[in-house]
């Protein structure tokens, strides 16, 4: 039987897909060099690199649009998973130390091996994110009482603080590392090609599949670990699968777009007010919604400081910070 929530979920999913299609078109059209929709279509169907507009679309805007879709969807899915695993509406993918781990690994690639291109250190970023998350998971599940949302959050905060200190130490002692790292640290969709996207597309897609498969378990965990266990569900299995999916999603997104904040926090939090706590719809709608948010930030960043650009990570942070403050000030929104 179809419920009112399911009907609302289907409508919102349809609107999100339509909105994503429009945002993709806007991403291909808008910039320092505006391009008409007919030219965009012609470039995609009959590419001719001898034409300047076609060159701009195919070599610059198509890659950053694809990166925006993948990274935005991945961050939104990872944020939804983290909020479900910790039962905290303000949980963020960075809670697992993913961003901090990726940052240290990128700095290691720059200082130890002299790698300075995003395509060169993409695997380092992914590996650093994964290692940090594994460390948080192992420590957070130690002890006689096993894992808990509060323990996972505190462990993630501690590991992040330690890795941030290492990052600061390296940056204050290496001018070369600082010059290269600052462009990656801001977070954006530029300076990366489709070859870089191909490297992390498979892990992101695998993480998305695991995330959708975990929806039922997250719904049960929302009732409490004891209740979920009493209903025959393995809480530990869902928590492990959720952490694996988060590593794949957030690690991949961080590797290709840098440590972008707030997307994974704001998207699921906003959707929860519209569709409730049903993780089937939170995940299904969250993927295109996250892509819309990141692409919109990228498009806005292209036009607010012409002839230059503002990176998408800065735009998201500028908009997300006051929204987060307003959420925190609302009573009853922060729980562990």
Could you tell me the domains of the chain? 4-329 (1.10.3470.10)
Nearest CA-CA partner of 2 in 209, 267, 227, 281? 281
Span 58-88, pLDDT tens digits? 988 999 999 999 999 999 999 999 888 887 7
Are the C-beta atoms of residues 299 and 244 closer than 8 Å to each other? no
- Write phi, then psi, for 116 (nearest 5 degrees): -125, -5
Whether 253 has a pLDDT exceeding 60, the answer reads: yes
In this prediction, residue 331 carries a pLDDT of 58
Nearest CA-CA partner of 27 in 290, 204, 292? 292
Distance between CA 189 and CA 172 in Å, rounded?
26
Residue 336 confidence class, pLDDT cut points 50, 70, 90: very low
Percent of the chain with pLDDT over 90: 32
Average pLDDT score over residue span 241-264: 86
Average pLDDT score over residue span 86-112: 82
The string over 234-262, giving b where at least 16 C-beta atoms fall within 10 Å of a residue's C-beta and e elsewhere, is ebeebbbbbbbbbbbbbbbbbbbbbbbbb
In this prediction, residue 125 carries a pLDDT of 82
Are the C-beta atoms of residues 28 and 69 closer than 8 Å to each other? no
Q: Where are the alpha helices (DSSP H) in the chain?
A: 4-29, 37-45, 52-56, 62-86, 98-113, 118-140, 149-171, 175-186, 194-213, 215-221, 225-230, 235-257, 263-275, 279-303, 312-329
Of the spans 29-38, 78-87, 204-213, which averages the highest pLDDT? 204-213
Of the spans 3-7, 143-147, 228-232, 243-247, which averages the highest pLDDT? 243-247
Segment among 27-31, 45-49, 86-90, 248-252 with least mean pLDDT: 86-90
The count of other CB atoms within 10 Å of the CB of residue 267 is 28
In this prediction, residue 81 carries a pLDDT of 92
21 or 151, higher pLDDT: 21
The count of other CB atoms within 10 Å of the CB of residue 71 is 34
Residue 243 belongs to what H/E stretch?
helix 235-257
Structure tokens at 70: 């993948």
40 or 234, higher pLDDT: 40
pTM of the full structure = 0.90
334 or 71, higher pLDDT: 71
Distance between CA 125 and CA 260 in Å, rounded?
13
In this prediction, residue 330 carries a pLDDT of 67
End-to-end CA, the chain: 34
Q: What is the DSSP letter of 142?
A: -
In this prediction, residue 2 carries a pLDDT of 67
276 or 80, higher pLDDT: 80
Distance between CA 136 and CA 52 in Å, rounded?
48
Reply yes or no: is the peptide bond before residue 307 cis, omega within 30 of 0.
Answer: yes
Whether 35 has a pLDDT exceeding 60, the answer reads: yes
Q: What is the DSSP letter of 59?
A: I
Average pLDDT score over residue span 190-194: 72
- pLDDT, mean over the chain: 85
Average pLDDT score over residue span 27-44: 92
Contacts of 289 (CB under 8 A, 6+ apart): 16, 76, 267, 270, 271
Residue 335 confidence class, pLDDT cut points 50, 70, 90: very low
Structure-token match 């809670």, residue found: 95
The count of other CB atoms within 10 Å of the CB of residue 34 is 10
Segment among 18-22, 86-90, 248-252, 325-329 with least mean pLDDT: 325-329
Q: What is the DSSP letter of 31?
A: S
In this prediction, residue 279 carries a pLDDT of 92
Of the spans 118-122, 152-156, 176-180, 241-245, which averages the highest pLDDT? 241-245
Residue 231 confidence class, pLDDT cut points 50, 70, 90: confident
Contacts made by residues 146-151, CB under 8 angstroms, sequence distance 24+: 146/236, 147/236, 147/239, 148/225, 149/85, 149/86, 149/87, 149/88, 149/336, 150/336
């Amino acid at each position: 039987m179809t419920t009112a929530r399911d009907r609302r979920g289907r409508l919102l999913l349809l609107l999100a897909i339509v909105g994503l299609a429009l945002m993709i078109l806007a991403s291909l059209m808008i910039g320092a060099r505006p391009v008409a929709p007919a030219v965009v279509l012609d470039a995609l169907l009959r590419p001719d690199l001898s034409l300047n507009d076609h060159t701009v679309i195919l070599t610059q805007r198509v890659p950053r649009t694809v990166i925006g879709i993948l990274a935005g969807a991945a961050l939104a899915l990872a944020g939804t998973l983290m909020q479900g695993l910790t039962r905290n509406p303000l949980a963020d993918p960075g809670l697992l130390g993913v961003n901090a781990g990726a940052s240290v690994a990128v700095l290691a690639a720059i200082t130890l091996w002299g790698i300075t291109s995003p395509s060169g250190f993409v695997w380092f970023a992914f590996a650093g994110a994964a290692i940090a998350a594994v460390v948080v998971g192992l420590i957070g599940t130690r002890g006689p009482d096993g894992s808990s949302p509060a323990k996972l959050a505190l462990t993630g905060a501690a590991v992040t603080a330690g890795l941030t200190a290492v990052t600061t130490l390296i940056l204050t002692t290496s001018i070369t590392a600082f010059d290269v790292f600052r462009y990656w640290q801001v977070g954006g969709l530029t300076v990366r090609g489709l070859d870089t996207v191909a490297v992390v597309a498979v892990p992101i897609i695998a993480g998305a599949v695991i995330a959708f498969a975990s929806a039922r378990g997250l719904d049960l965990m929302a009732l409490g670990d004891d209740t979920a266990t009493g209903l025959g569900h393995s809480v530990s299995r869902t928590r492990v699968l959720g952490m694996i999916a988060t590593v794949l999603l957030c690690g991949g997104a961080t590797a290709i777009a840098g440590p972008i904040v707030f997307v994974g926090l704001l998207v699921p939090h906003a959707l929860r007010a519209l569709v409730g706590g049903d993780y089937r719809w939170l995940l299904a709608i969250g993927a295109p919604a996250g892509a819309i948010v990141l692409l919109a930030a990228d498009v806005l960043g292209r036009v607010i400081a012409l002839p230059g650009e503002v990176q998408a990570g800065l735009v998201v942070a500028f908009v997300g910070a006051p929204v987060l403050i307003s959420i925190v000030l609302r009573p009853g929104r922060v729980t562990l």
